[in-house]
Amino acid sequence: MEITNINTFLDYYGKIRERTNRLIAVIPPEYMDWAYRPGKFTIADQIRHIAAIERYMFAETILGKPCSYSGCGKELADGYNEIIGYFNEKHEEALAILKKLSNDDLQRKCLTPANTPITVWKWLRAMTEHEIHHRAQLYIYLNLLDVKTPPMFGLSSEEIIQNSRLK
């Protein structure tokens, strides 16, 4: 689906972020440094990664600048409040850049970190897919830790079955 209107996209992307924020809000602070296996992203790494990629890869390349993503380690933010603050700060910085785009800008090309030209609207779509991908990983992490997670769209699978007319 082609993105042709920046304001419509920003509204959609805001809803994506609302779902991510609802999930992040249930993360117990004591689990921020947990990973399912040594050497894999921790919960905190996942959150920092979403933030840093959004700001330093997607937003920078849309501006015509080279990607400046340098990782998602503790040096960016350490501690529950600092991580959440970093996440929100980088999102606001990226939004400030995206809000300056015109509808015509959506049709121009930018260069990915692999130096591949891509239409800006397709790059924005990739940005949303990236966040959704990492949010799904956070759901799995939290389920492994027996943390109750919010349903994505208001009802859980069990509630949908319970309310189904096909009982």
How many Å apart are CA 17 and CA 131, to the nearest integer?
8
pLDDT band (50, 70, 90) for residue 160: confident
Give pairs for 79-84: CB < 8 Å, separation 24+: 79/32, 80/29, 80/32, 83/32, 83/44, 83/47, 83/48, 84/24, 84/47
Residue 138 pLDDT > 80, yes or no?
yes
Does 47 score more than 80 pLDDT?
Answer: yes
- The pTM assigned to this predicted structure is 0.92
User: Quick check: 33 and 44 in contact, CB under 8 A?
Assistant: yes
For residue 131, name the pLDDT band (cuts at 50, 70, 90): very high
Domain ranges of the chain: 6-163
Residue 97 parent element (H or E): helix 80-98
Residue bearing tokens 């997670």:
149
Instruction: Write the CB contacts of 150 (distance below 8 Å, at least 6 apart in sequence).
Output: 22, 23, 26
Residue 141 has pLDDT above 80, yes or no: yes
Q: What's the distance, CA 43 to chain centroid?
A: 13
The torsion region of residue 31 among left (phi > 0), alpha (psi -120 to 50) and beta comes to alpha
Angle at 55 between CA 70 and CA 27, to 5 degrees: 85
Mean pLDDT of 135-162: 88
pLDDT tens, residue by residue, 91-118? 999 999 999 999 999 999 999 999 999 9
Q: Taking the mean position of all CA atoms in its chain, how far away is CA 74?
A: 18
pLDDT at 17: 98
Residue 167: the pLDDT is 52
pLDDT band, very low/low/confident/very high, at 1 (cuts 50, 70, 90): confident
Reported confidence tier of residue 33, pLDDT bands at 50, 70, 90: very high
Q: Determine the angle formed by the axes of helices 120-144 and 6-24, rounding to 10 degrees.
A: 10
Cα–Cα distance for residue pair 63/68, rounded to 1 Å: 12
The CATH number of 6-163, from 1.10.3720.10, 1.20.120.450, 3.20.20.70, 3.40.50.80, is: 1.20.120.450
Q: Which pLDDT score is estimated for 166?
A: 63
The predicted model gives 152-167 an average pLDDT of: 73
